[in-house]
Amino acid sequence: MATIIQKDVLIEAIAQIQGFLSRNLPYSDSLNDDELFLCGLREHIYSTHHNQLDYESLLVDIMKIKEKYEKPL
């Protein structure tokens, strides 16, 4: 279960990761699997009542995608 604010945080996190990917991946006419997943997840979050969202699980899924593309220091 998520609060309304947590739902907004999930939407903002997806937008941040989508921006991150668009800046860090080479240009392509098509989206990769992770970009498509984020688009679908965003639509799911928008269309689902906040009480039906698992905030912690969704946030972990979103952050795993960012971690996959981050360059190690």
pLDDT given at position 36: 96
Q: How many domains does the chain have?
A: 1
Question: What tokens were used for 67?
Answer: 């971690």
For 27-65, write each residue's pLDDT tens digit: 888 899 999 999 999 999 999 999 999 999 999 999 999
Q: What is the H or E stretch that residue 17 is in?
A: helix 4-24
pLDDT given at position 29: 87
Can you give the pTM of this predicted structure?
Answer: 0.89
Residue 51 neighbours by CB distance under 10 Å: 10
Containing domain of residue 10, as a range? 4-69
CA 40 vs CA 62, 71, 73: distances in Å = 12, 25, 31
Question: What tokens were used for 27?
Answer: 């240009």
**Whole-angstrom Cα distance, residue 36 to residue 73?**
27
